[in-house]
Structure 1
Amino acid sequence: MSLTLAQVVELLDARYPQHTAESWDAVGLVVGDPEANVNRVHFAVDPVAAVVDEALARGADLLVTHHPLLLDAVHGVPVTDPRGALVHRLIRGGCALYVAHTNADAALGGVAQALADVVGLVDAEPLLPGAGQALDKHVVFVPTPDARAVLDAMADAGAGTLGEYERCAWTTTGTGTFVPGAGANPTIGASGRREEVDETRVEVVAPRAIRAAVVRAMVAAHPYEEPAFDVLELATRPGSTGHGRVGRLAEPTTLRDFAQRVADVLPATATGIRVSGDLDAPVQRVAVVGGSGSSMFDAGVAQRVDVFVTSDVKHHPASELREAAEHRAAAGAPARPAVIDTAHFASEWPWLPVAARTLADDATARQETLETFVSHLSTDPWTARFDPRT
């Protein structure tokens, strides 16, 4: 039995959550019937005519691209419009379209990690880490005999989960005191009389998104008419995902040899790669950003990388970084970072085989089979480079 398009989208969304995409981005399902069956999935960087032809020729039921087809707002997709023509061809060919863009850039096993792996980085971590999950700490005071039941109720609501551990909590005991008012209906004691009770302080951590559910569960299980509790918002720790990657080479090398390695492992393009820096300088600590990443140069400088690998580097950012590196060298510090500028398409292509393999494995885990294919068409828009005659 085949997976439906909705089920395949669920697998893709689990790997590349749509809520992690930038606010300006357009990701997710673009074309397709969620109830349609999917057996063949084609992966490519760009949703261009040649890629659509390739996907249809292979009998793909779904085309997954990194770049969006409809990033800019549109008010129609007539066949006379180039993008509209692709929408019509996909629909007529029975092929859906799904986009994973900035959500795939930052994901575990996403575009940045694939680029880091292919150029040989080890111990890579996000260059600009995304925020980790927003967490609360719930603190509640419970008569000691009832503490276990209240903790169980909060855990059942989702509190106290840390990684692979559940029902995680910290407790201590003390004395609670109160005087019930005339209109109170106390579980313990009587109106107008001071009471002292052996109580347990229960502390658990929970995702902020389920705060209301945890509080409801605690109140429902608590024996008191008016439980005493706190909800404290915790500082957000850096998450395991984020833009770019920074790591080290297993063995130091020179900028010349590392640049050649980058050229050798990425798809060939007409423009090749450009290098800014001393070709004989030592290189070991490296930052990479698939696609346009010069906005993250400052993060690379702060991380003291020897070279920054990215795409679409403009004149002024490259010039300013080079001047700053030479200024540091004049003061006796290492002249870093150098810059390796690759074709945009080339720096993002290494993610495709990773994504194809991952989706096939995820389908297998559901006891289903998906055939996945990777486009080797170069969709880099530059077709030629001319050097001066010598």
Structure 2
Amino acid sequence: MKQAHAQTIIQEFEQYSPKHLAVEGDKIGLQVGSLQKKISKVMITLDVLEPVVDEAVEEGVDLIIAHHPLLFRPIKKLDVDTAYGRTVEKLIKHDITVYAAHTNLDVAEGGVNDLMADALELQDTEVLVPTHEDKLFKLIVFVPVSHADKVREALGDAGAGKIGDYSHCAFTSQGRGAFRPESGADPYIGEQGKLERPEEEKIETVFYESDKQKVLKAMFKAHPYEETAYDIFESAAGGRKQGLGRIGKLNSETTLDEFAEKVKEAFQVEGLRVVGDGSRTVKKVAVLGGDGNKYTMTALHKGADVYVTGDLYFHVAHDAWMEGLMMIDPGHHVEKIMKQAVADRLREFLSKNQYDTAVMVSKVQTDPFRFK
């Protein structure tokens, strides 16, 4: 039975949700246990509460990947007579590792905020609150004509050449290279001591900094030469903004009350709080998972008609109402949308690499609120 190592699983996950995207001071990464072990079963959850840990014990889970950190505030003591203390005790006793991806999963492409925007069918989305820039680089590599197509395809498959809605973008020019293999060389073309002038193609493409390792690894694997000649420059075209929240447009205008029903259906909630006249028109929508109170004015200034976020404060809602910004609060718990998406991504990786490690989604309800 080929079980994936915990480090292998987390390394793959961090390709999707890298730590550097997290807001400064956020409590992410390893929280409890060890990553130095093989994993038979992974569980994806929004929260790590005692019933979730009980579920993990019952299901034989070795690794929990959560969105909300278990260890978020400073701990002064671990009293095992409290629910919190018992939760940590059970994790340690049953050798269950807990790993958290919080704001980095919010910011990540395909993460919580993209999933929420997709659920609401927003179009032409942009980042609401920029926090990082994924720099754009230009890659130039020289390849023998016989392997040019192979290298070009490998680069594109690894993420190079993304321009707008196009992938595998590249420019190619032909010429003659020159090199002389010296003593100790094992050349793909030519002989030691003799100058070679092979027909080569110069491939130029671009890649984002977040894809650098994958792109270079793919290039070296596909390139036939013992020593690969290449250059990398930061592009003057600039990178792409990354950050919290998304803002985009609906396919067609609707009313606030009609859109509120869409939000209920998209996030599978029994009820929600709405600020604004239900008959007003909605076209441009801002969304931010979790507690988005401090970004309310950002949504207003970026032209949103309505702002969808959780945990709205009374006075924040008052201020938005007076400024004419409509708001919908479906609750903090709608971030649960990440559970199935993360599970699907990990299953794909494990299957592709022929690991027998299983992935499950927690079924425990962790939303503390209910509607009467």
TM-score over 0.5 (shorter chain): yes
**Superposition deviation, residue 119 in structure 1:** 2.1
Distance across 1 between alignment mates of 2:209 and 2:360? 40
The aligned amino acid for 2:287 is: V
**Superposition deviation, residue 76 in structure 1:** 5.0
Aligned position for 1:64: 65
8 Å CA contact 1:122, 1:249 repeated in 2: yes
**Pairs within 5 Å for 1:85-104:** 85-104=86-105
From the superposition, tell whether residues 18 and 124 of structure 1 become closer, same or farther in structure 2 (CA, over 3 Å). Answer: same
Distance across 1 between alignment mates of 2:122 and 2:40? 34
**Pairs within 5 Å for 1:306-325:** 306-325=305-324
- Structure 1 position 342 matched with structure 2 position 360: no
* Residues 4-50 of structure 1: CA deviation (Å, up to 9, x unaligned): 11111111221111121112211111123323221321111111111
**Superposition deviation, residue 244 in structure 1:** 0.5
Aligned position for 1:378: 365
Distance across 1 between alignment mates of 2:169 and 2:257? 51
From the superposition, tell whether residues 95 and 319 of structure 1 become closer, same or farther in structure 2 (CA, over 3 Å). Answer: same
From the superposition, tell whether residues 85 and 165 of structure 1 become closer, same or farther in structure 2 (CA, over 3 Å). Answer: same
**Pairs within 5 Å for 1:239-254:** 239=241, 241-254=242-255
**Superposition deviation, residue 275 in structure 1:** 0.4
From the superposition, tell whether residues 369 and 311 of structure 1 become closer, same or farther in structure 2 (CA, over 3 Å). Answer: same
The aligned amino acid for 1:74 is: I
8 Å CA contact 2:284, 2:305 repeated in 1: yes
8 Å CA contact 1:131, 1:237 repeated in 2: no
Distance across 2 between alignment mates of 1:259 and 1:299? 21
**Pairs within 5 Å for 1:1-390:** 1-77=2-78, 79-133=80-134, 237-239=239-241, 241-268=242-269, 272-325=271-324, 337-345=325-333, 347-383=334-370, 385=372
Aligned position for 1:201: none
Q: Work out which of the two has the higher radius of gyration on C-alpha atoms and give 1 or 2.
A: 1
Distance across 1 between alignment mates of 2:64 and 2:360? 10
Aligned length: 308
* Residues 91-125 of structure 1: CA deviation (Å, up to 9, x unaligned): 22232111010111111111111111122223322
The aligned amino acid for 1:38 is: I
The aligned amino acid for 1:119 is: L
8 Å CA contact 1:131, 1:236 repeated in 2: no
8 Å CA contact 2:62, 2:95 repeated in 1: yes
Distance across 2 between alignment mates of 1:68 and 1:365? 29
From the superposition, tell whether residues 90 and 303 of structure 1 become closer, same or farther in structure 2 (CA, over 3 Å). Answer: same
**Superposition deviation, residue 78 in structure 1:** 5.0
Distance across 2 between alignment mates of 1:49 and 1:297? 33
Distance across 1 between alignment mates of 2:294 and 2:240? 20
Instruction: Classify the secondary structure of the residue corresponding to 1:25.
Output: coil
**Superposition deviation, residue 68 in structure 1:** 0.7
8 Å CA contact 1:121, 1:248 repeated in 2: yes
8 Å CA contact 1:130, 1:238 repeated in 2: no
From the superposition, tell whether residues 115 and 77 of structure 1 become closer, same or farther in structure 2 (CA, over 3 Å). Answer: same
Instruction: Classify the secondary structure of the residue corresponding to 2:367.
Output: coil
Aligned position for 1:224: none
From the superposition, tell whether residues 308 and 232 of structure 1 become closer, same or farther in structure 2 (CA, over 3 Å). Answer: closer
Q: Which runs of 5+ in 2 are unaligned?
A: 143-159, 173-204, 213-232
Distance across 1 between alignment mates of 2:59 and 2:358? 11
* Residues 266-305 of structure 1: CA deviation (Å, up to 9, x unaligned): 2436xx2100111111212111101011211222122211
The aligned amino acid for 1:247 is: G
8 Å CA contact 1:134, 1:234 repeated in 2: no
The aligned amino acid for 1:303 is: K
Instruction: Classify the secondary structure of the residue corresponding to 1:353.
Output: helix
CA RMSD of aligned residues (A): 3.7
Scaled by the length of structure 2, the TM-score of the pair is 0.71
From the superposition, tell whether residues 118 and 165 of structure 1 become closer, same or farther in structure 2 (CA, over 3 Å). Answer: closer
Distance across 1 between alignment mates of 2:128 and 2:301? 10
Instruction: Classify the secondary structure of the residue corresponding to 2:296.
Output: helix
Instruction: Classify the secondary structure of the residue corresponding to 2:117.
Output: helix
**Superposition deviation, residue 252 in structure 1:** 2.2
8 Å CA contact 1:119, 1:262 repeated in 2: yes
**Superposition deviation, residue 381 in structure 1:** 2.1
The aligned amino acid for 1:315 is: F
From the superposition, tell whether residues 361 and 234 of structure 1 become closer, same or farther in structure 2 (CA, over 3 Å). Answer: same
Instruction: Classify the secondary structure of the residue corresponding to 1:350.
Output: helix
Distance across 2 between alignment mates of 1:384 and 1:277? 21
More deviation, 7-16/76-85: 76-85
Instruction: Classify the secondary structure of the residue corresponding to 1:297.
Output: helix
More deviation, 254-263/121-130: 121-130
More deviation, 311-320/119-128: 119-128
